[in-house]
Every structure is written in structure tokens, then in C-alpha cells.
Amino acid sequence: MGSVPAGQAIWQEDRARLIVQAVVGIIAPRLEALIGPDLWAMDARDMELWVRDLLRQAGAAIATELLRVAAEHHMSLVRPTCATCEHPLHLAERAAPRTLVGLTGDTITYERAVFRCPHGHERIAPVDAILGIGPGHLLPALLEAACVAGITDPFRDGVRLLEAMLGAKVPRSTLAPSVEAIGHVAEAEVLATVANEAAHEHPPTPSDALPPPGDGGASDTTFVLVEMDGARIHVDGAWREDKLGMIAPLRWARGKEDDTVKLRPDTQTYVASLEEADPFYERVKAMTCLSLPPPPAQAEVITVNDGAPWIWNRVDLLRPLASAVHEVADFWHACEHLEKVAEMVYPSNDARRREWFAAARHGLRTRGPDDALERLRALPVRGKKQRHLRDTTIQYFVDRADRMHYPEYEARGWPIGSGVIESTCEHVAGTRLKNPGMRWSYGGAQAMLSLRALYRSGQDPWAAFWQGKPQLRKPRLRDVTYRKYAKAA
């Protein structure tokens, strides 16, 4: 590193000294006033809260001064022009104040220059963007924390959580539209990814045959698990299906319970949308592309789902992505159909019902759909209701027999259950958007789904999202209309 010029070093020391003096001026008097009867009356919790509030006051002073120094530095370098007419902007205010709330304090004020276009096209403070400060009153780090609180709990609880954990006072009228605005940015990024992937072809490496049982595939083959399902939330005055997807590379790992080595999901990526099935599948397809290795590496997709027609009718959309796409009907959903038949045929004989169901479930898992069909056809049904349910269940297995070769799948180490997507429906959508009394607008629900899906996809995607400064791209709070249907959210 080069040496700092003497004049600049003196200036830096003076600035640092001023900040230290300001902090001491806040902390020392309060400490002196506390030590005495007030301190003796405190327990440990009181002391922690007192220290937290004191540090927030000191932190606000430090942040205010640092922002001011940074603004002065950047303004010496800024020569802004109008984005519309490209004319140089005129200085409108040399030191326009802006008051913000941050992780370190509730009142953080700094001054920066504001410029205006001579033709009236725009009025901007360039330093705000340079420092990553977007519209609204929240500094970026607190905005991120507010988003976590707002997507985890109802907004009224998120307000309490922020104050209890951080001491930050963020009113619901700020929290809710801020979270939705960032959610709109998250959704826009997903749509951009979908458009980008759609513009590129992804020729797969050909694969002529299934891998031999017990091997799971060639050692250089990458397997990716894709699961989809749907749930229902109240949107624009009616119940609407929200579609969810989970994409995860599979890796060989030993289970915690069964102690067997199988292909198990690694890092999971979630997608969630209120779209119709076709555009939602494009969303899943784009995220699947990001999980696949580039050619010429061999990649195969295993998709495990329940019996929803909208899922299976569009599986062919995934085939251009990989050398093979293997369709697996969820084993546990199939077992539910067998159990319903057993309950209908043996309504008063619990022992016989449990015996038949256990044998049918074991046979399906170890011998495949033919065993289940044989047992169903041999059932001693009586009456129209039993016969109708039995025949309907038989047709269910006939229609899905090609996706029910469970002995073969397990021999290859493939997953046969869609439990991951079942839990996804709950922890991405259900626990936040389906609480009692919640009503959502379409835009508000989609923003919440997109942001929750991103957050649940892990720390790396979440951190990368915030490194991209979404706060600079979010709409203004007054443009967010969450209040119309999200009254209880």
C-alpha cells in the first residue's frame, strides 16, 4: 500500500477524533448517571436492554458521521447528467438532509447534494445510490432484517420481533410495503432468469439406457431432483392455487435413520408462483437449468410427484434439459389410495384392515404395481360404493404403472417419495400466507411467495440477492398497494 499524504492523514485523524468525542459525549454522561441507586435496582435483563439502547444512540452518532464523511468524498467525484436528455444536472441543494433508521440507531441523519435537470426531467441525490440507500426510511442492513421478520411472521409480529431483537422501531405501515417492494424485486429477478434461460438452448448429452441396478448411474452422472405441488391461498377475494417447486442436485449420502447410501437432496432451490401451469413450468425449467452441469457432462433429472395432471402432463418440457428424465409417482400418495380402499372394504375389522394394507404397501414397494393391482382385484368388495372405490383405485394404478417401479428405483438409490415438496408447501407458503384471516392481493401474495422461496433456498442465494442492492430497484412505498387485501397479513 502507498503512503497516505500528510495532509490527508491529519484530516483522517481529525475526523476519527471527532467521532470518538461524539461517542464519549453520549456514553460517559449516561454511565455516570446510572452507577448508583438506579444500577442497584436493575437485574441482568434490565442492564442488557439499557446497554443496547445506549449503544444504539452511540451507533447512530457514528453512522451519521460516517455517512457525512462518505457523502463529502463521493460528491467531490460526482458529475451527474440527466438520464433522459443527457444534459448536466444543476445543483439544487448543497446539503439536503435525510433522516433514516438503521441497525445501529433510530435517528441517523446525513446531508448530501441534490441535483435537478434544467429541463425538469429528474431530481436526484447521486450519493444515495452510491451508498446503496434506496427509497424509504430504512438503511439497507435494517431493510434486510425487516424483510426476514416480515416474511417469517405476520407483519404485526414482525414489528415486535424487530424491536425485541434489535431495538429497532419499524412501524407496520413501513414494514409491510417495504417487504412487498423487495418481494417485487425478487420476482423480477426470477422472471429475468426465466427469460434468459429461454433465450439459450441447452443440448443434453445423449443417454441410451438406464443405469444398472445398484449403481445409480455412471460415476460422472449428475442427478437432479425436481418436485412440484400446489396449495391454496386467499387472493383477491377467492381461493387460488399457488404452485411450488423444489430443485436439488442429488448426492450419494448415508441416511440418519435407515443408514443406507442413497441419492439424497443437496442444496435445495425453491420456486413459488400464482401463475398458470405453463409459465410456472418455465420457471421450474429455468431453475433446473441452473442446477445442471454444462455439457458434455452427463445429467439426468428425477421428478417425483403426486398424481396432479398439471404436473405430469408437462414433464416433456424438462426433457430437452438432460440426457434422461425419470418420472416417479410418489410412493406415499399411492399408499394413501390403498389405505382408503382397505378402510372401505374392512370398516369394522381393524386387524384385517391393517394386515391387508401392510401387505399391500410392502408388496407395492418390493414388487411394484402389479402386486398392488393383483391384491386390489382380489378384494371381496360388496355394494356399489366399495366396487366404485376399488375400480377407481385400480385405474389410478393402471394409469401410473410406468411410474411405480419402486423396487427398481430403490435398487438404483433413487428417491421414491415427494416429502420434500410436501414440506415446501408448508414452510414456503402455508406458514406465512395461510394464517387465519389473511387476505392477499395478487401482487402482494406473489411478492411474498418469491421472497420466501428465495430466503428458504439458503444463505448463498439470499446473500447474493442483497449484494445486488435490491433496495435501489424497489418501487416507492406509496406505489405498493398491499393494504387492499393484506389487512390481516
Reported as a pLDDT band with limits 50, 70 and 90, residue 218 is very low
Q: Determine the 3-state secondary structure of 338 from DSSP.
A: helix
Domain boundaries, the chain: 6-133, 332-406
Residue 145 CB burial class (10 angstroms; 0-12, 13-18, ≥19): buried
pLDDT tier, 215 (very low <50, low <70, confident <90, very high otherwise): very low
Query: How high is the pLDDT of residue 373?
Result: 97
Residue 104: how many other CB atoms lie within 10 Å: 23
The pLDDT of residue 246 is 94
Q: What percent of the chain has pLDDT over 90?
A: 67
Indicate whether this model's pTM tops 0.95: no
pLDDT at 164 over 90: yes
Query: pLDDT band at residue 203, thresholds of 50, 70 and 90?
Result: low
> Based on the number of CB atoms within 10 Å of its own CB, is 238 exposed (0-12), middle (13-18) or buried (19 or more)?
exposed
Cell of 5: 499524504
Which amino acid type is present at position 445?
A
The pLDDT of 476-488, averaged and rounded, is 47
Helix (H) or strand (E) holding 447: helix 442-456
Contact 344, 389 (CB under 8 A): yes
Residues in CB range of 118: below 8 A, 6 or more apart: 87, 89, 90
Q: Which residue has the cell 431530481?
A: 123
More confident residue, 117 or 202: 117
Nearest to 455 by CA among 151, 188, 106, 235: 151
Distance CA 109, CA 92 (A): 19
Average confidence score pLDDT of the chain: 88
